[in-house]
């Protein structure tokens, strides 16, 4: 394992931002990571918050400047069927595996449960951190446990589902455990008998369009891929990190007031068990408040398709900020600040970035 100096991170982030890492290494095994953590010459970088950055697929990060520390690229690979019982397959995947490749592996082997999460960019290790979700399903629904290295103690530990404290696009690894652990593998509890979830309206329409006579995990995956490709730009062609902002949740009282001013506001209950993503006004909240469609809010502020210098908002999806080729991370961040401000001024709603800003 070789530690390099002054390495460009442009090819390691889907935004395509050209920032340098003071030190850079790629770890292919748990042993590689523990060897690095045991190297006393790098102890100052481990001890100071913000000096050690764990990088997976680079699909949820925005570099606004050079990184004056160590970037550790997690490349731990491997997908293994640990065991099975009457109803489930227990499948372990290395943190460095690409998420979509894992989904394809599951579909090929008839492991059900992740088909709605097809084509989400990023790595296995990032999935529980973000608690990724799409089309009526969240990662936590199939999560069993993960293994991670405690950076301070250089020991491998196991996190159960309850340990991870999953929430909407959130987990303990974005809160009190942030920067304290390096995820090395994740084990999922997948179904032998599929619980097909097509309640997200666009999936049913796409399957009908595809002409599939029977709904299966494979057809759902293809439908989701088709929908995502029609809405989201390919990072290989135009730099982006997918959805830049979270859908904000507001109290029911605030939602009622907002609805009076903007009758067409798009909102839906925050519970993942309610898959009517995009339910219109008039639907009954469940005492949980309402989750607003951030893309709709941004579009109403006039940002959709707008270009500002080398960056801008995608023409087909207002949630996606893009790099037209030469943008600096600071430019993208400044654009996001303007969007946050305009949504606050128009709707009195505060958006939160989903992308990690470094």
Q: Is the pLDDT of residue 279 over 80?
A: no
pTM: predicted TM-score of the whole model, two decimal places? 0.83
* Active-site annotation holder among 22, 51, 169, 228: 169
* Active-site annotation holder among 221, 243, 331, 353: 243
Residue 35 structure tokens: 């060897």
Give φ, ψ of 196 to 5 degrees. -65, 125
Q: Is the pLDDT of residue 154 over 50?
A: yes
Q: Is the pLDDT of residue 48 over 80?
A: no
* Coil/strand/helix, residue 64: coil
Give pLDDT tens digits for 339-351: 999 999 999 999 9
Check if 228 is active-site.
Answer: no
CA dist., res. 125 & res. 148, Å (int): 9
CA dist., res. 295 & res. 154, Å (int): 41
Report the percent of the chain where pLDDT is more than 70: 91
Q: Which residue ranges form the domains of the chain, and what is each CATH number?
A: 4-74 (3.30.43.10), 79-191 (3.30.465.10), 239-357 (3.90.78.10)
CA dist., res. 111 & res. 293, Å (int): 31
161 vs 168 pLDDT, higher one: 161
Q: What is the pLDDT of residue 283?
A: 34
Beta strands in the chain (DSSP E): 4-8, 20-27, 52-55, 61-62, 67-74, 79-84, 88-94, 133-134, 137-138, 143-150, 155-160, 181-191, 239-243, 249-250, 267-268, 290-292, 307-308, 311-313, 320-323, 356-357
Burial of 102 (0-12, 13-18, 19+ CB in 10 A): buried
Question: H or E stretch including 345?
Answer: helix 329-347
**CB neighbours of residue 26 within 10 Å:** 17
In this prediction, residues 60-79 reach a mean pLDDT of 95
* Coil/strand/helix, residue 76: coil
Give pLDDT tens digits for 197-237: 888 768 888 888 888 878 999 999 999 999 988 888 888 88
Give pLDDT tens digits for 173-183: 999 999 899 99
How far, CA to CA in Å, does 233 sit from each of 106, 114, 237, 323, 356? 25, 22, 7, 11, 19
Q: Is the pLDDT of residue 6 over 80?
A: yes
HSE-CB at 117 with a 13 A cutoff on CA atoms is 27
Averaged confidence pLDDT in the chain: 89
Q: What is the pLDDT of residue 49?
A: 57
Lowest-pLDDT choice from 11-20, 57-66, 125-134, 273-282? 273-282
In this prediction, residues 153-162 reach a mean pLDDT of 96
* pLDDT band, residue 319 (cuts 50/70/90): very high
Check if 169 is active-site.
Answer: yes
Q: Which residues contact 214 (CB under 8 A, 6 or more apart)?
A: none
- Report how far Cα 294 is from the mean position of its chain's Cα atoms: 16
Check if 160 is active-site.
Answer: no
Give pLDDT tens digits for 185-206: 999 999 999 999 888 768 888 8
Q: What is the pLDDT of residue 274?
A: 38
């Amino acid at each position: 394992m070789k530690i390099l100096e002054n390495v460009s991170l442009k090819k390691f982030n889907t935004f395509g931002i050209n920032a340098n890492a003071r030190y850079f290494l790629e770890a292919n095994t748990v042993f590689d990571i523990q060897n690095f953590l045991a190297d006393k010459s790098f102890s100052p970088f481990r001890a100071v918050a913000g000096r050690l950055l764990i990088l997976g697929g680079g699909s949820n990060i925005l570099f606004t400047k050079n990184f004056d520390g160590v970037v550790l690229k997690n490349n731990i690979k491997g997908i293994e069927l640990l065991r099975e019982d009457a109803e489930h397959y227990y499948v372990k995947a290395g943190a460095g595996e690409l998420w979509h490749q894992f989904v394809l592996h599951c579909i090929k082997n008839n492991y059900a449960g992740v088909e709605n999460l097809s084509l989400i960019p990023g790595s296995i290790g990032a999935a529980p951190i973000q608690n990724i979700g799409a089309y009526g399903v969240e990662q936590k629904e199939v999560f069993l446990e993960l293994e991670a290295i405690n950076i301070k103690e250089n020991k491998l530990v196991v996190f159960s589902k309850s340990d991870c404290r999953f929430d909407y696009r959130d987990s303990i690894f974005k809160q009190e455990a942030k920067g304290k652990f390096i995820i090395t593998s994740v084990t999922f509890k997948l179904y032998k008998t599929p619980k097909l979830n097509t309640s997200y309206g666009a999936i049913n329409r796409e399957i009908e369009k595809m002409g599939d006579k029977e709904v299966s995990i494979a057809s759902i995956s293809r439908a989701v891929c088709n929908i995502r490709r029609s809405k989201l730009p390919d990072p290989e062609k135009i730099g982006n990190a997918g959805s830049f902002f979270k859908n904000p949740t507001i109290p029911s009282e605030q939602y009622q007031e907002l609805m009076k001013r903007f009758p067409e506001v798009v909102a839906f209950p925050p519970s993942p068990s309610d898959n009517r993503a995009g339910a219109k006004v008039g639907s009954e909240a469940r005492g949980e408040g309402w989750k607003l469609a951030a893309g709709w809010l941004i579009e109403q502020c006039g940002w959709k398709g707008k270009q500002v210098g080398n960056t801008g908002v995608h023409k087909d999806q207002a949630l996606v900020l893009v790099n037209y080729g030469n943008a600096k991370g600071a430019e993208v961040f400044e654009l996001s600040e303007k969007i946050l401000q305009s949504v606050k001024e128009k709707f009195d709603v505060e958006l939160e970035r989903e992308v990690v800003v470094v």
